[in-house]
Structure formats: C-alpha cells, structure tokens
Amino acid sequence: MTTDAEIPTRFDHKAASTKWYAQWEEAGAFRADVDSPKAPFVMVIPPPNVTGALHMGHALNNTIQDIYARYRRMLGFDVLWLPGTDHAGIATQNVVEKMLAKEGVRRDDLGREEFVRRVWKWKEESGGTIVGQLRRLGASCDWSRERFTMDEGLSRAVVEVFVRLHADGLIYRADRLVNWCTRCRTALSDIEVEHEDRNGAFWHVKYPFADGAGFLEIATTRPETMLGDTAVAVHPEDERYRSLVGRDLILPLLGRRIPVIADAYVDREFGTGAVKITPGHDPNDYEVGLRHKLPVIKAFTDDGRIAAGIMEGASSDLRARTYVGKKVLACRDAVVDDLQAEGLLIRVEEIRHSVGHCYRCKTVIEPHLTPQWFVKTGPLAGPAMKAVEEGRTRIVPEQWSKTYFEWMRNIRDWCISRQIWWGHRIPAWYCRACDGANMTSVSTGTNVESRDEAEPMYILSSHATPIVSAARPDRCPRCGSIDLIRDPDVLDTWFSSALWPFSTLGWPDRAPEVSRYYPTSLLVTGFDILFFWVARMMMMGVRFMGDVPFRDVYIHALVRDAEGKKMSKSKGNVIDPLHVIDDHGADAFRFTLAAFCVQGRDIKLDEKRIEGYRNFVTKIWNAARLVLTEPRPASSTIHPSTFSPEDNWIRSRFARCVTEVRRSLDAYELDKASHSIYHFFWHEFCDWYLEIAKPRLREGDPAAGGVAREILESSLRILHPFMPFVTDELAERMGGTSILDRADFPVAGRIFESDEALIEKAISLVTEIRRLRAEFRIAPAEKIPVFLVTSDLPEASRVIIAQLAGVIPEVVAHKAEWHHFASSVASGVEIVIPLEGRIDLEKERARLQEEIRKCEEQIASSRARLGDDNFATNAPADVVSATRSTLLEREDRLRKLRELFANL
C-alpha cells in the first residue's frame, strides 16, 4: 500500500524522464521485429541534418510521430519507427568550412580527400547531437536501425538508382543556365532558390546605333550584366521599333557591336519595350539566344566576379579590363558611374522586384552556364501523380494534394549535380585517351594528385562522354584505355533523401525488411519540404519499388512565435525546445504541441500554453495521489450491481472519450484527441467524479475504489502516447508495468444512458445552487436548507447535491408558502432557498423578471420558427421535433419561473 508520504505533491519530470527512457531502451521496447506475427506499422523519420540541433519544427514533427508510434504499439502493431540523419551536403560542408576557417584553412588547401576525411571526423565527433535530443523528447525510435544517408548501404542504393535512371535515359548531362550560388560555388535546383521581393533600381540606358544616328533606350535592373549583352530585342509587332530591327547597336562601355532582333518574348508594355539580351546570364535571354543563334558570353565567374569573357568583341579592352575580376555589386557601381560619365544614363527609376537567394547561405543567386546532371522528371512525375489520384497514397489535410498536383504538373527537370565535395559522388567517369578534347586541364589546389579522388583537375565540357557505372570501370569501353578520371560532382542531398523509405530498409539487397516494411504506413512532415522531399520520394518509390512509399502523408503546420512570426535566430524569437523540456517537462510540452495541431493552420506557440498543460500534468499527478492514497479495495472483482449511478456515469463518459480519441487519432486530428482527454480527465473525472466519490473512497467502498482506479489507470493508457513519462511513472506506482510494453490501448466500454442523464441532472442542479449561493453571498462553509420542487429526484442525486452544493436539500412534491427566498429553475426542478431577512426582495423580483423576460424571448423565437409553415414542410423531421421539445421545456421553465415570481 502506497502512502501519501511516498508520493510528492509535484511530478519530478526530470527524474522520471531519465529513468523511463533508459528503462525503455534497455528493455528494447522500441525495437521492431521482422519476424513478428503482428501487423507492421512503419514510419521513417524525416532525417534531420547531421548538423542540426533540435528546434520547434523537429519537436512538433517528432512528437506527432511518437504519438502514432506509441498509439500503434498499444493497438498491437509491430511498430518500426526508423530514425536517422541526413548528410546535408551543402549545409554540412559549410559548417566544416567555417570551422576550418577559424584555423585559417580553406578546403582547397586540404584537397578533396583530406577535406572529406575531415567532414567525416566532424560528423563522428560532433554530428548527430539531435539524436540525443530526440530521446529527451521521448521519441520511441528503433535506434538499433538508425541510418545515415552516407552509410555504405544507402550509398549503394544511390548508385544503383543513378545508374538505372541513366540507363533508362532519365538522367542526362547537359549545358544549362542553372541557379548558381557564388558563395557555395555550386549549382542549385530551382526549388533551392528562395525568391524575395526587394527594393531595387531600374536604370534607363542609351544604346547608340552603330551608324551614329540616335540611340535605343534600354531599361535594366542589373546594369552590370550588359557586359555580357549580345543583342537587343524588341517585339516583332511593335510599331515603335519595327523599322529598327536588323540594325546594329554599339554596346556602351565595351563598344561591342550587337544587333537589334525581333522576338515575341518581349513584353511591349514593360520598361521601354526594348530588352537587352544577355544569353549567358538570364534564362529567357538564353532561350532567345538559342533562337537567334546569338553568341553566349559568360560574364561572371564561379565566385561571382566579372569574367575575362566580357572582352569578346569589345572595341578596346582597356575599359573592360577595369571590370574584370570585380565583384558583381562593385562592378554594378562602376558601370553605372561610367554610364553617367558618358552621358548614357537617362534616369533611374525605383522598382520592387524579385531576387533569388541561396536557401543555405542567402547569397544572391546568379544564373550560370555550366554542364550539369539532370533528372528528366516528366516520366517520373506522371506515375507519382497517379498514385495520389488513385488514393494509393492519401495526403492529409487533403488540400495539400492540390499543391502537390500543381507542382507535379509544372515540374521541370531536376538539377542533381553539386560542385561540392561532401556527398555521394556521381558514378561517372571520362576517358582521357579518347575524350581528352573535351577536357581542359586546370590547376586548382596546391597538392594536386594524379588519382581521380583528388580535387578536380579538369573542366569537363558538356560534350565529354560520361561512362556511367556502379563501380569504377577497369578500362574505357570505347578505346580500352585505363586512363579514366571521375566526374568531380556530387549529388544533391535530396537525391539520397528521395530513396530514404527503401534505402533505409536495405534496398537494393533483398532484405526481409524491404518486403515486410515497404510501403511504410505513415509519413509525418512539414509542408515546407513537400516538394523537396515528399514529391521526390513518391517519384522514386513508385519507379523503383513499384509501389508508393507511404500510405498516408500527414502534413503538419509550421511552428511560429506567439506573434505568428517565423522563428529565426536573427529575429531572436526562437524558443528552444530543450529549455521548454527542462522547465516544464517533455510530457507537458508534447501535449501542448498535440493540442496545437489544428489542420491547416500555423501554430503560434506561446509559452503560457505550455504552462497550462504543465498544470494538467500536475493535475493528473494529484488525482492519482488522491486515488492511490485512499484504501485499496479488498477485492479486485466488483459486482456490477454495486456500482452507483456516478460510477456508471464516469465509465460511460470515459467510453465516449475513448471513442472520440480513437476517431480523432485515426483522422489525424490531434487537437481534438488531446482536448477530449483533457476535458474528460479534468472536468469530468476530477471535478465531478472524484468529488462525488470522495466519501465512498475514504470508506474503502470497493465499487468507488475500483472505478476510480479503473478510470485512472485507463486514462493513463489513453494519455500515454501524448505523455509517456508521467503515465509510466504513475502506472508503476499503481502497481503496473510500463504502459509501453502492453498492447492495450483503451477500448470503448458500455454506455449507461440513464445514469448519464441522472448525473447530468444532478450536476446542473448543483451548479445552479452554487450559482445562487455565490450570488447571494452565502459563505461557502454555511450549510443552508434548499427546497427542490419535483416529484422525481432519486436519492443518489439528493446525496450528490447535499455533498457538492453544501446544502441540506429537501425534496418536495408541491411548493409551500415561502415568502423570502432566492429561486431558480434547472432541469425542470424549481430551486428555492429560504433567505428570511437576508434578501432584498425588490432586487430578487427584478432578477427573476429578467429571467422570465429572457425565457419569453426564447419561447417567442421557438414559436416563430414552428409557426412558419415552410419550416414544418422543409426542415427534417428530427429538427422539427427537437424544436418542439425545446419549446415545451422552455414553456415549462417559464411556468415555473412565473410561479416563483408570484410567490415571492
């Protein structure tokens, strides 16, 4: 028997979480079992970056997953929740580069091999801190199956997919104008560019005609790009310019001779209607250039400086030389100054325009013409779309499927090559013997080695012919040479992420896990990576596994601060989940996140709400203290006939709660599930049941003791997915084992309608009497007589009223001759509290009069509705009959109120 002294008033969340997590892990409670006879339930974690630390987004995402993992385990499934981390190519390379910079070392100084070795070293020593942080959240991942995207097995999957897609013609290498980050010095895919509206300027510049007769006015937001201009375009039907097409202009500053061309791409309404064409630096201009066979000048270098290429066609290279090597922005100033000096600048207009930034380092993105590897996405997108259309994968909330379709329909080829060193290196080689013409030897670093694992020694043109192969080929299949060099690029991180649902299970090997656990059951993720990740997993899964990667995708909101702003370090509005866990405990935090999970709305996280749910944890704790402190009933089997109405009422209410929680969880409505539990436990079990049952509990009544324990214990089980620590701690104190180990999520029991009605009537009477007491300032301790005018009030109700309203209730069938009383009507019962000498009769008359007036108003509205023939004809029968009975109740209430008023 546990005594009060052994249970402290407050739950020690720190001690409990440490203790229980260790115990769960030791017991292997999170492990999936491939040989289990149970049905599998599978989730793969959205792998956080190895460089990452737990933020609110992770906390929300993993809390949701853990709730489902624990829920499904309790439903009897063999749950596999597979954890792991992502190598996060650019992000991780940046972190390590920054670290090296502190030692004054650049990656080029180390060379490729050594640099990659250092990244691995960093990963082993400081990477993956988030994995420990997930444990503090309570995440029940199967850690024995933790994966990393650069693991040997996963890397084999990457190579396999690459080789097969290439063989199928779905991966190709070509020259394209790609998004280039001049700081990361790599290409990015389209979705890795973040567009933002910025204030900018629109420079209007004179482009003089070659024959000296006048000029054309050109407007540009990027004057420095004119150094790469090779034409000016006008619309073919633009009357203003029609006669000028075919004439030549002299490009200001450089003196390059460029033609005026006609192309329908030009928007006559915008700017001056004449557009400078820079094929080497604008995707549209590139297309125009192709159509008109314009020369392409690469005006910028990899690191965002002006390239020597601008001197091509220049009349004098003296001026051009002053630009070469300048940073883009510096060059812009120089160009503008020079134009001004030459009188070629007409005016400067203010303009707001969209500017692309690198999603990793926020540097302005420059279009850059380079050979890159692409995935031809069209043939992959079709089947991936169809899978969702056919319902093989369900997206929740459904509205996101529209976004998904929209993106898939407009999908463009995916640039997958990155010019960095950390990542899966592209499995392609080039033969120096027969393909040497397409390579330009360059010396980049200090310790260039002859092996292909060293840093790139060659610039490979788009004409170079790659030999794609899972392993390094022994010799060139064309000429037999052994002089092969490997493609220096690595793959986009998201390429390996796209394979995560099957690469983590052992594919391409025939692992038993692959057949048992694929497709996974549920993917929980934020909408911010719908395109980056979800869509690509769909494409790859359908392509390589012949089935969708997951049955359900639950897309949750983003966590914002209390004002609704995105949390960011620079804004200083970041709430650290680990601090929250320290302060309030993981249970309270998790419950808060679940309660906030309203579909389709962002989460504004206010720490006050966490405090509120921390109080809920304390409430649970104290309710358990009450129940456990009272004597344990002697017998564990209680005969149903000994249950009193309140016992059946609470069992019935719990049954309804269970039904609602299961329904909500199955529908991914975590807010509803958590609210149901919260309301049931606090406002029904604690506020009413325990208060009603207290005297019986003290007496050691077996029914009350049994029911209190039963409901408490079941509540702990239904709460466990949300609050794993406090529930296990209490379950143990109740003499049970960890809830995690038991496949026994509560099942809805019987509903006792008549007991529900009885207790609810008692509750409404208690509430009304309390209200009157408060209104007439009757001291809480004072026991006063109360007359209840009714012919039908069970003894049980009378007892409850006496106990909870602190009154001496007297049930009378007919009203007597009272004169000084406070009164009301609740549940059809007239309540009369004699207050001789303590009541202002005038005030009470006025109060009752007001009650009567309100009641009359309601009756009038009910009557008006029922009096309308159209209502009776058109409204459904149940609505009509419900309106009728409401009217009857109101009329009854009015009658009673009037009687009371007449007697006063």
- Contact positions with RNA (CB under 7 A) in 610-639: 612, 614-615, 617-619, 622-623, 625-626, 629
Per-residue mark of binding to RNA, 792-811 (x: CB under 7 A): --------------------
- Closest approach of RNA to the CB of residue 153, in Å: 32
Q: In the range 406-425, which residues lie near RNA by CB under 7 A?
A: 406-407, 410
Dihedral (CA of 433, 435, 440, 445) sign: negative
- Closest approach of RNA to the CB of residue 440, in Å: 30
Q: Of the listed pieces 268-276, 309-317, 446-454, 700-708, which binds RNA according to CB under 7 A? A: 268-276
Q: In the range 844-903, which residues lie near RNA by CB under 7 A?
A: 858, 861-862, 865, 868, 870-871, 874-876, 879, 882-883, 886
How far is C-alpha 240 from the geometric centre of its chain's CA atoms?
A: 53
Q: Which two tokens stand for residue 106?
A: 């650049």
Of 128, 271, 371, 633, the residue at the interface with RNA (CB under 7 A) is: 271
Q: In the range 661-680, which residues lie near RNA by CB under 7 A?
A: 671-672, 675, 679
Which CB sits closer to RNA, 28 or 600? 600
Which CB sits closer to RNA, 779 or 813? 779
Q: In the range 677-716, which residues lie near RNA by CB under 7 A?
A: 679, 682-683, 686-687, 690-691, 694
- Closest approach of RNA to the CB of residue 833, in Å: 14
**HEC states along 282-329?**
CHHHHHHHHHHCCCCCCCECCCCEECHHHHCCCCCHHHHHHHCCCEHH
Of 244, 336, 514, 598, the residue at the interface with RNA (CB under 7 A) is: 598
Residues in binding contact with RNA, number by CB under 7 A: 90
* 3-state SS, residue 259: strand
Phi, psi values for residue 169, rounded to 5°: 75, 15
- Closest approach of RNA to the CB of residue 882, in Å: 6
Of 118, 166, 276, 418, the residue at the interface with RNA (CB under 7 A) is: 276
Q: Which two tokens stand for residue 360?
A: 């990793």
- Closest approach of RNA to the CB of residue 224, in Å: 11
* 3-state SS, residue 534: helix
Q: Which two tokens stand for residue 210?
A: 């070659």
Q: In the range 6-65, which residues lie near RNA by CB under 7 A?
A: 9-10
* Residue 281 vs residues 66, 227, 312: alpha-carbon distances, Å: 48, 10, 15
Of 266, 718, 811, 831, the residue at the interface with RNA (CB under 7 A) is: 266
Concatenating the DSSP letter of every residue in 332-351 gives HHHHHHHHHHTT-EEEEEEE
Q: Of the listed pieces 156-164, 291-299, 334-342, 769-777, which binds RNA according to CB under 7 A? A: 769-777
Q: Which helix (H) or strand (E) covers residue 379, if one does? A: helix 378-389
Of 283, 378, 631, 700, the residue at the interface with RNA (CB under 7 A) is: 283
Q: In the range 557-586, which residues lie near RNA by CB under 7 A?
A: 562, 564, 566
Which CB sits closer to RNA, 614 or 653? 614
Strands 171-181 and 186-188: antiparallel
Q: Where are the alpha helices (DSSP H) in 447-507?
A: 493-497, 500-503
- The residues near 812 (Cβ < 8 Å, ≥ 6 apart) are 787, 788, 789
Residue with tokens 């005594």: 3
Residue 273: DSSP 8-state: S
Q: Of the listed pieces 134-142, 753-761, 779-787, 836-844, which binds RNA according to CB under 7 A? A: 779-787
Residue 213: DSSP 8-state: S
Of 742, 770, 820, 847, the residue at the interface with RNA (CB under 7 A) is: 770
Q: In the range 347-406, which residues lie near RNA by CB under 7 A?
A: 353-354, 399, 402-403, 406
User: Taking Cα atoms as reference points, which of 847, 851, 845, 843 lies closest to residue 896?
Assistant: 851
Q: Any contact of residue 245 with RNA (CB under 7 A)? A: no
- The residues near 501 (Cβ < 8 Å, ≥ 6 apart) are 44, 518, 519, 520, 523, 537, 541, 549, 550
Q: In the range 498-557, which residues lie near RNA by CB under 7 A?
A: 531
Phi, psi values for residue 810, rounded to 5°: -125, 120
Q: Which helix (H) or strand (E) covers residue 784, if one does? A: strand 784-789
Q: Of the listed pieces 449-457, 473-481, 609-617, 785-793, which binds RNA according to CB under 7 A? A: 609-617
Q: In the range 172-231, which residues lie near RNA by CB under 7 A?
A: 190-191, 194-195, 219-222
